[in-house]
Every structure is written in C-alpha cells, then in structure tokens.
Amino acid sequence: MLKDITLGQYYRADSVIHRMDARTKIVGTVLYMVSLFIFNNCICYALAAIFLITVMALSKIPPKFMFRGMKSILFLLLFTVFYNIFLGTGTVIVKFWVFQVTYEGIVNAFYMLVRLFMLYVGSSLMTLTTTPNQLTDGLESLFKPLKIFRIPVHEMAMMMSIALRFIPILMEETDRIMKAQIARGADLESRQISKRIKSLIPILVPLFVSAFRRAGDLALAMEARCYHGGDGRTRMKEMKFAGRDVAAWFVIAGYFGAVIFCGIYFKGFTDYLVAELQTGLELIVAFVKGIG
C-alpha cells in the first residue's frame, strides 16, 4: 500500500528533453515561470502555451501521466478563481455583502487559472524528465558560486540525495513494522483520535530507531571509503553541455524575447478584453430586459 509512491515522479523515456543537461532544464523552468508572471495578456499566454505543448510533445510523456497529480492543486485553483471573481476590484457587475463581481475580476480569474495550470505542468515536466539525482547534481553545480560565501553547497546536495534515497527504504520499513504490530493486535483503525495517536507509538519508535541505525551505518560506510566532503571529488557521471543544450538555450532565449515583445506591444489588450466583456454583458442584459 505504501510502496506505490513513486520517488519524485520521474517517468522513464528516451527523449531530447530527458537527455538534456539538468542545469538547462532547471534554469529553463525558472525562466519559464518568470515569463508566466511578468506579463498579463492573452497573446503572451498563447505563446507560453505553444512553448509548453511543444516541450510536452518532445518529452514523449503521455498527457494522462502529466495530469495525474492535478488533483492536489485543484483546491488551490478553485480558491484562486473564487477569490478573483468575488473579491476583485474594478467595474462592479453584482454586489452582495462583502462580495462583488467585477469585469476585471472575471478576466483576472481566467488569467490566474491559466497561469497556475501552466506553472504546474511546466514544473512537473522538469521533475518528470529528470531523476532526483540529476536534479541535485544540477542544483549543486548551479549553486557552486555560493561557495565564496562559505555555504557548503556540495554537502547540502549530498544530504538531499541521501534524503531522497532514504524515502523508499523508510516507506518499506514502515510497511513492515505496521504489519508486525497489526499482527500483535495493534489497533490502527480506531476512530478515537486519542487511541489513534497512541497507536502510532509502536510504529514511530521502531521507525526512528531504524532510521538512526541506518544513518549511522551509512556514515560509517562513507567514512570507510574515505569520503571527506566535496573538495577534490570527481564524479562518475560528468555533466556535459551538449549541442542540444545550446539549441535549447536558443529556443528559450527566443521564447523569452517573443514574450517580452508581445508583453509590450499588446499592452492594452487586457483593457480591451475587459471593455469587450462589458459591452457583451450589457448587450445580453438589454436583450433580456427587452424580452421581459
């Protein structure tokens, strides 16, 4: 039951995006996120959507797999939409108590929805195509300049990879301990909260004991192999900047340039949309009144 949780959410496939250097993907994703937030008009979103769909198609990840985790952000999406529609400012359509529906609010709600959606898909594209280890390696390499400020970048990256590696092991361990205690008659399905919390003790104590034991063993094993931190350490898998990364950088730069251009050139587009929405609604209202 517990073993079904995938680590990160890496999806094994062979594609350009998968083979790309992790650093390119990390920086590219960050730039993409920024691009979603600096401009506020339809044309830019259309560009972002085209970019996203292209990358998705290149990554060979089935769309079904991409949207599987969507449920987790559903609440956030609904909340944002609700907040924007009912608590926006601008030309008021309907008003009751503290809530007011405005034209700007409706347009904003739509923008936010699209924004969050693309943000989610964009960032999961990165985690789906990059293994957690590649990610930590990429982050380590990107944050290397921080060493000047005496921040132990390598050690932090090592901690992160170890933590990631331990997740499935501890999951398995939990499963085993739970079964053992259930077999000894532990009641894990009680409805009473107090009993439920109490029933966690026989699971948590052995779990912590075993986690510390494993951590101790690992430290010893690392020490026995002369691990001494990051200085002078070479890698088994060198990260290489390949032709595809250069191409990717051109694409990203092109995309970013296009977004900036559209953002400035079509600046008034949102106001235009609001005005259109207003006239449209007024027409409908007039029409309904006319019938009445």
Angle between helices 153-183 and 132-142 (to 10 degrees): 150
User: For binding to other proteins (CB under 8 A), which residues are involved?
Assistant: 4, 173, 176-177, 179-187, 201-203, 205-206, 209-210
CB of 170 to other proteins, least distance (A): 12
- Say how many CA atoms lie within 13 Å of 103 toward its Cβ: 15
**Residue 199 CB, nearest approach to other proteins (Å):** 10
Residue closer to other proteins by CB (options 185, 232) is 185
State the nearest-atom distance from the C-beta of 6 to other proteins, in Å: 12
Least Cβ distance, residue 201 to other proteins (angstroms): 7
The burial of 20, by beta-carbon neighbours within 10 Å (0-12 exposed, 13-18 middle, 19 or more buried), is given as: buried
Residue nearer to other proteins on the CB measure, 40 or 181: 181
Helix (H) or strand (E) holding 94: strand 92-96
- Dihedral over Cα of 135, 53, 20, 242: its sign: negative
Cα dihedral across residues 242, 247, 250, 254: positive or negative: negative
Report the residue number, 10 or 110, with the smaller CB distance to other proteins. Answer: 10
> In angstroms, what is the minimal distance from the CB of 68 to other proteins?
13
**Shorter beta-carbon distance to other proteins: residue 68 or 95:** 68
Q: In this complex, which beta carbon is closest to other proteins, that of residue 176 or of residue 244?
A: 176
Minimum Å distance from CB 115 to other proteins? 34
Name the nearest CA neighbour of 215 among 152, 176, 173. 173
What distance in Å separates the CA atoms of residue 174 and residue 166, rounded to the nearest whole number? Answer: 12
Our CB check for other proteins shows the closer of 87 and 197 to be 197
Q: How far is the CB of 219 from other proteins (least distance, A)?
A: 19
8 Å CB contact between 114 and 46: no
Residue 27 or 182 with smaller CB distance to other proteins: 182
Nearest to 106 by CA among 80, 75, 125: 80
Tokens coding 6: 């995938």
Q: How many CB atoms lie within 10 A of CB 17?
A: 23
185 SS3 class: coil
